Amino acid sequence: MKLNETLSNIRVNGDNKLVLTDMIDEIGDNHVLTSVETPMRKGAFDLSDDEKVAEIAEHFRSIMDILGLDLTDDSLKGTPQRVAKMYVKEIFQGLNPENMPQIALFENKYKYNQMLVEKNISFYSNCEHHFVPIMGKAHIAYISNGNVIGLSKLNRIVEHFAKRPQVQERLTMQVGKKLQEILGTNDVAVVIDAKHLCVSSRGVKDDTSSTVTAFYDGAFNDEKTKNEFLKYLELNTSF
């Protein structure tokens, strides 16, 4: 039984309420994902972006008030609107599929048949369990089967999936699978190395660790090809 089904089948009363709470806390504390797709409710886009901003601003104003902040202070009075606009139109804009960057494919006329590697793609995301930042680098490789895409579009694809509440494993798989879909090939690899502020600024408060996740498919399941890709990541490309 899937985790979501397990949670939904637990009756929230008496001792079972404690079991459900413990399971939910364990998922968040251990940063466990429940699906490869970002969990979205039905009707997620019934409201316009401006309507979402207005509603989030009101809710965030209530949060600030509950915390005891003085919302009449000049420094704070505009914060609810700023946060709401940031959520909808900046750091979580990747939730809306309409914001997926337009990708144009080009024929590989020069017959380049080796792997193409784009490394050190900087990204910023947010942990879906605590809504605090994830910061890292993505490294992408693919082998053309006849088509190529512009280099900057690789960055844009990473950025799109990063701009939503995320779990790093899901982010890695979403980028890999989208590239396969766009390029029409299974020969794709993605490695992500990231720092999670939910680990470094709360909980265990480990400021030195980072998390590495990988997606390998097609030719990259071959150890020789995979190792060639990983060797490229070791190159000093500082300019």
pLDDT at 7 (0 to 100): 47
pLDDT digits (tens, 9 = 90+) for 177-222: 999 999 999 999 999 999 988 776 666 666 768 899 999 999 999 9
- In the numeric block, which tokens belong to residue 23? 């399971």
Whether the per-residue pLDDT at 125 is higher than 80: the answer is yes
Sequence-ordered alpha helix ranges (H) in 163-210: 168-183, 197-200
pLDDT of res. 111: 86
CB 224, CB 203: distance < 8 Å: no
Per-residue exposure over 136-154, b if at least 16 CB sit within 10 Å of its own CB, e if not: bbbbbbbbbeeebbeeebb
For tokens 């490394």, the residue is 119
Distance CA 115, CA 97 (A): 29
Q: What is the mean pLDDT of residues 89-101?
A: 96
H or E element, residue 14: helix 14-29
First to last CA, the chain: 51
* Burial class for 190, CB neighbours closer than 10 Å (0-12, 13-18, 19+): buried
Average pLDDT rounded to a whole number, residues 120-128: 96
Higher pLDDT, 225 or 205: 225
Which one is catalytic: 129, 139, 159, 160? 129
Mean pLDDT of 97-116: 92
Identify the pLDDT of residue 33. 62
CA gap 217, 37 in Å, rounded: 18
- Is 160 catalytic? The answer is no
- Write down the pLDDT at residue 31: 53
Residue 223: the pLDDT is 97
pLDDT tens by residue, 147-177: 999 999 999 999 999 999 999 999 999 999 9
Rounded to the nearest angstrom, the gap between the alpha carbon of residue 212 and the centroid of all alpha carbons in its chain is 14
Q: What are phi and psi of 68, to 5 degrees?
A: 95, 10
Rg from Cα positions in the chain: 21
| Residue 62: per-residue pLDDT | 98
106, pLDDT greater than 80: yes
Per-residue exposure over 90-126, b if at least 16 CB sit within 10 Å of its own CB, e if not = ebbbbbbeeeeeebeeeeeeeeeeebebbbebebebb
Instruction: Please tell me which residue in 31, 159, 160, 168 is annotated as part of the active site.
Output: 168
* pLDDT, tens digit, 9 for 90 and up, residues 11-49: 445 555 544 455 555 555 555 566 789 999 999 999 999
- Which entry of 139, 160, 166, 198 is annotated as an active-site residue? 198
Place of tokens 């915390």: 67
Q: Which of 130, 139, 160, 174 is catalytic?
A: 130
Active site residue 118: no
Strands 115-127 and 165-166: parallel
Over residues 55-89, the pLDDT tens digits come to 999 999 999 999 999 999 999 999 999 999 999 99
128 given a catalytic annotation: yes
Structural domains present in the chain: 3-98 (1.10.286.10), 104-234 (3.30.1130.10)
Rounded Cα–Cα distance for residues 198 and 206 (Å)? 9
Return the residue matching tokens 């797709």: 37
Residue 198 is a catalytic residue: yes
**pTM recorded for the entire structure:** 0.84
d(CA 223, CA 234): 17
pLDDT at 169: 95
Contact present, 121 and 156 (Cβ < 8 Å): no
Confidence (pLDDT) at 11: 45
